[in-house]
Amino acid sequence: MKVATSNRSEITLEAWLPTNWTGRFLSIGNGGVSGCIQYEDLAYTAGLGFATVGANNGHNALHTGVVVGKQLTTKYYGQDYKKSYYLGCSTGGRQGLKSVQDFPDDFDGVVAGAPAIALNNLTSWSGNFFQITGDNTSESFVSQKLWSVVHTEVFNQCDSLDGAVDGIIEDPDLCQFRPESLLCGPGNSTNCLTSPQVTAVRQVFSDYYGVNGSLVYPRMQPGSELTASRLLYNGIPFIYTADWFKYAIYENPSYNPATQTVQDAAYAHQKNPFNIETWNGDLSAFQKRGGKLLHYHGLQDFLISSDNSPRYYNHVSTTMGLPSSDLDEFYRFFRISGMGHCYGGPGAWQIGQRTIGAAGNPMNAQNNILLRMVEWVENGAAPETVTGTKFVNDTASLGVQFIRNHCKYPKRNVCADPVNQVDPSAWKCV
Q: What is the pLDDT of residues 51-100, one digit of tens each?
A: 999 988 777 788 999 999 999 999 999 999 999 999 999 999 999 999 99
Per-residue pLDDT tens digits for 196-234: 999 999 999 999 999 999 999 999 999 999 999 999 999
- Cα separation, 298 vs 367, in Å, equals 16
- Cα separation, 149 vs 144, in Å, equals 9
pTM, whole model, 2 decimals? 0.96
**Is 301 a residue of the active site?**
yes
Specify whether the CB–CB gap between 349 and 316 falls below 8 A: no
Strand partners, 12: 2
- Cα separation, 116 vs 122, in Å, equals 7
Residues 6+ apart with CB under 8 A from 408: 328, 332, 333, 334, 383, 384, 385, 429
For 121-272, strand residue ranges (E) read 208-209, 215-217
Strand partners, 84: 25
Mean pLDDT of the chain: 96
- Which of 56-60, 282-286, 377-381 bottoms out in mean pLDDT, i.e. has the lowest? 56-60
Sign of CA dihedral 121, 127, 132, 133: positive
Q: Which pLDDT belongs to residue 344? A: 97
Q: Which pLDDT belongs to residue 284? A: 98
pLDDT > 80? residue 276: yes
Sign of CA dihedral 350, 352, 357, 360: positive
- Cα separation, 395 vs 389, in Å, equals 11
- Cα separation, 16 vs 72, in Å, equals 10
Mean pLDDT of 134-158: 98
Neighbour tally for 167: CB within 10 Å: 12
Per-residue pLDDT tens digits for 101-138: 999 999 999 999 999 999 999 999 999 999 999 999 99
Q: Which pLDDT belongs to residue 217? A: 98
Q: Is 423 helix (H, G, I), strand (E, B) or coil?
A: coil
Closest CA to 353 of 133, 155, 126, 87: 87
Q: Point out the catalytic residue in the list 124, 341, 394, 406.
A: 341
Q: Point out the catalytic residue in the list 162, 171, 301, 307.
A: 301
- Cα separation, 402 vs 405, in Å, equals 10
**Is 63 a residue of the active site?**
no
Neighbour tally for 57: CB within 10 Å: 22
- Cα separation, 13 vs 103, in Å, equals 19
Q: Which pLDDT belongs to residue 5? A: 77
Distances (CA, A) of 333 to 28, 49, 113, 119: 19, 26, 10, 19
- Cα separation, 401 vs 233, in Å, equals 31
Q: Which pLDDT belongs to residue 11? A: 80
For 316-356, strand residue ranges (E) read 331-336
| Residue 400 φ then ψ, to 5° | -80, 130
Q: Point out the catalytic residue in the list 27, 41, 84, 90.
A: 90
Q: Which pLDDT belongs to residue 108? A: 98
Per-residue pLDDT tens digits for 170-180: 999 999 999 99
Chain Cα centroid distance, residue 331 = 16
